[in-house]
Amino acid sequence: MTSSPRQLKRSVAALALLALLLGGCGAESDSSQPVRLGVMVEATGPYASLGVAGRNGMQLAVEQANANGGIHGRPIELLYRNDVSNPEVTQQGINELIAAKVEAILGPMTSKTAVQLIPLATNAGILLMGGTTLSRLLAGHDDQYFRIVRHDNPDAKGIARYLRKRLGLARISVIVEDSNPPYTEPWMLDFNRYLAAEAGEMQPPLHFIRSAQTDYAALAQQLLAQQPQAVVLLTSALDAAMLATQLRQLEPQLPLAGAIWAAEDVLLQLGGRAVEGLVSIQAYDLHDSTPAFSAVRTAYEQRFKAPIDSPAIVGYDATNVVLRALRERQANETLKQTLLRLRKFQGLQYGISLDGFGDIDIDSPVFLKIVRGGQFADVE
């Protein structure tokens, strides 16, 4: 139909009206579909410090990736589910994530939770990238579970060696916090083995489960009743601080060691002077001055107003591994296949090499640390 001036006016008016109406309704911006990753960390409970730090690391990695354009232009979105060390809540959380069809799940930070999550994730075919899940029991399975941390308990070895070799101590007591058995059981076995190999002697471990009623003083007394030459604290940093306080009150010069689990800032904050001289292992050199690490450390501090720590680095590196896999995933390839194809990744401080089961292949370094002056210092 040839448009006369009258027709033209009408069309213009109609369009203007339409535009007005549409504008008023606040049109929704349609971005491209985001890449969704699930996050299941212990943000409450005794392992909250691990969870929060790990989550911060994941957040930082994702925010940095989004600032660089996301995954091929698609933004990355994190869906948070807390596991609260409550199996039911955990179940519900992962179900929700599976239902939300996330590309992968980041976390958990404890092996105990991992034990619950791994079969669920494997059944759903969703990649589970673990955080500080150190248990040896999780290794060597062909499942959807991947991690970038060592499962061979190098801290057990390091502590055993240090206590035997450096301090020449043979009679060692161990106190175990039992809320994370998949981790603690193999650890003790390893420690026992390493100690025995060094001709040390591990006393029967003292078990407790942390609760609001935990009487650390009593525990300390029980430990000292074994008359150890040194005490190894296979507990969280909080428990380690509490125990150290009690032990050092009773025995101020008692040599203490803590598993990697305990080597956090919380230990220093809560322990204060009581943890001076405590020996532990850290998986990362937090004083690394290389530009890459410095940049991330600075960014972390600015973002979270707290110093970066090991769980955060683990979370950061683990997330970056997953992001890289997402970027380089080919069509008709699962994320797991991508990871197994790629195998080698770059972490903040060292390379990450995955084996066929999703565990770390190469021995990454660990750092023996001792608490001096309220800081973790290198052992000479």
Partner 1 sequence: MSSERPPDIPAHPRRSWPLLGILASRFMLVACIPVLAIGLLFRLYYEPLMRSDAEAKQLNAAQATAQQLEYHFSVANRELSTLARLFTHAQRLNHAEIETLLDAYADSSHFYEALYLTDEFGQIRATGLAASRRNLRQNLQGLDISARDFVLQAHRRNQGYWSNSYLSTVSARLTVALAQPVGTRTLVGEIAIGQLPELARQLSQNDTLQIRLLDRQNQLVANSAGNNQGKQQLNLGNLAVVQQGQGSSTHFQLDGQALVGVALNVAGPDWQVLVAQPEAQAYGQIGIVWQRISLVLGLALAVALLIAGLTSWALAKKISLFTAHVEAIAQGRYDLPPIHSGIKELGRLQNSLQQMVMAICEREQAMRGSEQQLRDSEDRLLATLENTPNVAVQWFDRQGRVLLWNHASESLYAIERQDALGKTLDQLIFNPEQQQLFLANLREAANGIALGPYLLKLQGLDGQPLYLLTTTFNIPAPGGGQHFVCMSIDVSEQKKVEQAYRELNNSLEQRVSQRTQALSQSNQELNSALANLQQAQHGLVQSEKLAALGSLVAGIAHELSTPIGNSVMAASTLQDHTRTMQRAVTEGALRRSMLEQFVADSQTTCDILNRNLRRASELISSFKQVAVDQTGAQRRSFQLIEVVNEIVITLGPSLKKTPFVLESNIDDSLWLDSYPGALGQILVNLINNAVLHAFANRDHGFIALRAYATQPGWLELTVTDNGCGISAEHLPRIYDPFFTTKLGQGGSGLGLNIVHNLATGILGGRLEVVSQVNWGTRFTLALPLCAPTANAPVDKPQAQLAVTSNSPPPPGPAVDSGSAADPAA
**Interface residues with partner 1 (CB under 8 A)?**
2, 4, 6, 9-10, 13-14, 16-17, 20-21, 23-26, 39-41, 43-46, 48-49, 52, 55-56, 59, 63, 77, 80-82, 89, 93, 210-217, 238, 241-242, 245-246, 248-249, 266, 268-274, 303-306, 374
Complex with partner 1: residue 50 or 234, whichever CB lies closer: 50
Q: How many CA atoms are closer than 13 Å to the CA of 165, on its beta-carbon side?
A: 9
Q: In the complex, what is the shortest distance from the CB of residue 55 to partner 1, in angstroms, rounded to a whole number? A: 7
DSSP secondary structure, 113-148, as one string: HHHHHHHHHHHHT-EEE-SS---GGGTT--SSEE-S
Complex with partner 1: residue 10 or 287, whichever CB lies closer: 10
Number of H helices and E strands in the chain, helices first, is: 12, 15
Q: How far apart are CA 160 and CA 172, in angstroms?
A: 9
Are 169 and 229 contacting, i.e. CB atoms less than 8 angstroms apart? Answer: yes
Are 51 and 58 contacting, i.e. CB atoms less than 8 angstroms apart? Answer: no
Q: How many CA atoms are closer than 13 Å to the CA of 53, on its beta-carbon side?
A: 21
Complex with partner 1: residue 130 or 271, whichever CB lies closer: 271
Q: In the complex, what is the shortest distance from the CB of residue 169 to partner 1, in angstroms, rounded to a whole number? A: 24
Identity of residue 50: L
Complex with partner 1: residue 257 or 270, whichever CB lies closer: 270
Report residue 172: phi and psi, to 5°: -120, 135
Q: In the complex, what is the shortest distance from the CB of residue 221 to partner 1, in angstroms, rounded to a whole number? A: 10
Q: In the complex, what is the shortest distance from the CB of residue 339 to partner 1, in angstroms, rounded to a whole number? A: 24
Complex with partner 1: residue 77 or 152, whichever CB lies closer: 77
Q: What would the two tokens of residue 29 be?
A: 């911006």
Report residue 145: phi and psi, to 5°: -95, 125
Q: Give whole-number Cα distances, 21 to 14, 25, 37, 205, in Å.
A: 11, 7, 37, 73
Identity of residue 188: M
Q: What are residue 202's DSSP bridge partners?
A: 172
Complex with partner 1: residue 34 or 119, whichever CB lies closer: 34
Report residue 76: phi and psi, to 5°: -100, 135
Complex with partner 1: residue 163 or 268, whichever CB lies closer: 268
Give 287's contacts (C-beta < 8 A, 6+ positions apart).
Answer: none
Complex with partner 1: residue 21 or 199, whichever CB lies closer: 21
Q: How far apart are CA 66 and CA 68, in angstroms?
A: 5
Complex with partner 1: residue 192 or 310, whichever CB lies closer: 310
Q: In the complex, what is the shortest distance from the CB of residue 368 to partner 1, in angstroms, rounded to a whole number? A: 22
Q: In the complex, what is the shortest distance from the CB of residue 252 to partner 1, in angstroms, rounded to a whole number? A: 11
Q: In the complex, what is the shortest distance from the CB of residue 264 to partner 1, in angstroms, rounded to a whole number? A: 12
Q: In the complex, what is the shortest distance from the CB of residue 83 to partner 1, in angstroms, rounded to a whole number? A: 8
Q: In the complex, what is the shortest distance from the CB of residue 161 to partner 1, in angstroms, rounded to a whole number? A: 29
Report residue 39: phi and psi, to 5°: -125, 120
Which residue in this structure is represented by tokens 């525990």? 219
